[in-house]
Amino acid sequence: MTFPISYLLFFFTLLTGTILSISSTSWFGAWLGLELNLLSFIPLITTKLCPFLAESAIKYFLIQALASTILIMSSSMYMYIPDFSYSLILLSLMIKLGAAPVHFWFPQVIEGLSWPQAFVLLSIQKVAPMFLISYLTFTPILTSMITFMALLSSLVGALGGLNVMKLRKLMAFSSINHMSWMLIAMSINDMMWMIYFLFYLFISGSVVILLYSTQSYSISDILNQNKKSMIFNLLIPMNLLSLGGLPPFLGFIPKWIMIQLFSSKMMIFTLLILLFSSLITLYFYLRLFTPMVLLSFSSLSSTIKSYPAFPLSSILIVSSFINLFGIFSPIPFLI
C-alpha cells in the first residue's frame, strides 16, 4: 500500500498530540492532545475509498469521542467528587487503550485496517493513554482498579484469541494480553512498564513487517505461503514465539524482568494469572505455524523450488536475528 506525501503531516500531528498529552500539566491539556491524536489518525485510516477502512474509521471515531467526552466531563467534576472523577478518568483512558472490560471495539477496528495502520494502532496510539494511566497510581483505590482491569485483560487477551482465524484480530488480542503486564508493572515501577513497552514495540513491529511483506491476513494465507519460500517457515515461528515470550527468544526478556519484579513484591497470585494467560497465548501462536511446518515436510523439494520466494528486506532479517539471539544481549537488565 502506498501513502501520499501529505499523510506525513497527519503522522507528524499524531505524534505531536501524543507528546502534548504526555507533557501536559492539566487534564484539559491532556484531552487536547488526545483529540489532536484522534483527528490525525482518522485520515491515516482512510487512505483510499474502501468500505472496510471507512467502517473502521467510523467505529474508531465514535469510541474515541465517547472516551474523550467521559474524560472532559469527569475532569470538570474534580472539584465536587474527586475520587469518582479520577475513577471516570481511568475508565475513559482504558476505553482509549482498548483494555478489558472495555476492549470490544479494539479487535473490530483493527480487522479493517492494513498492516501499517494496525501497527500504529498497536503501538503509537497506546503511548499517551498508558502515560496518563501511570499518573493515576497515587491512591490505593485507583491502583486496585488498574490491577483488576489488568488481570481481566490478561484473561480476555488469552481466551479471546483461541478461535480467531484473522491475523490482525489475533494481534489485537495479543496486544490486550501484553497490556496486562504493563498495567500491573505500572502500579509498581514506572520504568519497568516502559522497558516492557519498548520490547513489545520492537517484537510486534518485526511480526507486522513479516506479515505485511507476505500480505498475510489470515491463517490460510500463512499456510499458502509455505511453498513459496522455506525461509518463511523459519521466520514466522521465530517471530511469533518471541512475541509469545518463549525462551530463549527476545520476548522472554521483559517477562523475565516482570517475573523478578513481581516475585520481589510477593505478588504470587497476580504472577500466576499472568503466566497462565501467557501459556494460552503460546498455544494459539503455535496453532499458526504448526500446520505450516507439517505441510512443508510433506512437500516435494521440486515443488518448493518452482515457486518464487518473497522479497526479504534487511529490516526483516535484522529484526528476526535479534529476536532469535536477543536473549544474550540485555544481560545488564537482569543483574
Report whether 133 contacts 183 (CB < 8 A): yes
pLDDT for 229 equals 62
Please give the grid coordinates belonging to residue 36.
489532536
Distance CA 60, CA 40 (A): 12
What confidence tens digit (pLDDT) does each residue in 30-69 have?
999 999 999 999 988 887 767 778 888 899 999 999 999 9
Region 106-130 average pLDDT: 91
Which three three-digit cell numbers place residue 106? 479494539
**Residue 322: pLDDT above 80?**
no
- Tell me the pLDDT tens digit for each residue of 224-264: 765 556 667 777 888 888 888 888 788 888 898 899 988 98
- Cα(18)–Cα(16) distance, integer angstroms: 5
pLDDT at 146 over 70: yes
pLDDT at position 299 is: 46
Query: Residue 54: beta bridge partners?
Result: none
Q: Rounded to two decimals, what is the model's pTM?
A: 0.86
Omega before residue 330 within 30° of 0, cis: no
Greatest alpha-carbon pair distance for the chain in Å reads 75
C-alpha cell at 287: 496453532
Is pLDDT at 298 greater than 60 in this prediction? no
Predicted local confidence at residue 308, as pLDDT? 40
178 has pLDDT over 90: yes
CA-to-CA distance for 33 and 124, rounded, in angstroms?
13
Kindly report whether the peptide bond that precedes residue 101 is cis, defined as omega within 30 degrees of 0: yes
3-state secondary structure of 151: helix
> Do residues 166 and 267 touch, judged by C-beta distance below 8 A?
no
Domain boundaries of the chain, sorted by first residue: 7-334
Average pLDDT over every residue of 14-38: 92
**Closest residue by Cα to residue 122 from 31, 243, 10, 258:** 243
Proportion of the chain above pLDDT 70, given as a percent: 83
- Integer Cα distance of 285 and 243 in angstroms: 9
Residue among 201, 187, 215, 223 nearest 319 (CA): 201
Residue 70 has pLDDT above 60, yes or no: yes
Cα–Cα distance for residue pair 141/83, rounded to 1 Å: 9
- What distance in Å separates the CA atoms of residue 286 and residue 303, rounded to the nearest whole number? 25
What integer is the mean pLDDT of 176-184? Answer: 93
Please give the Cα distance from 247 to 256 (Å, whole number): 9
Query: What tens digit of pLDDT does each residue of 261-293 get?
Result: 889 888 899 999 999 999 998 888 887 777 666
Whole-number Å distance between alpha carbons of 198 and 247: 18
Is 3 a residue whose pLDDT tops 80?
Answer: no
Q: In whole angstroms, what is the distance from residue 69 CA to residue 87 CA?
A: 14
- Least Cα distance to 333 among 247, 258, 248, 266 occurs for 258
List of residues 6+ apart from 272 with CB closer than 8 A? none
d(CA 100, CA 103): 5
The answer to whether residues 242 and 250 touch, using CB atoms and an 8 Å cutoff, is: yes
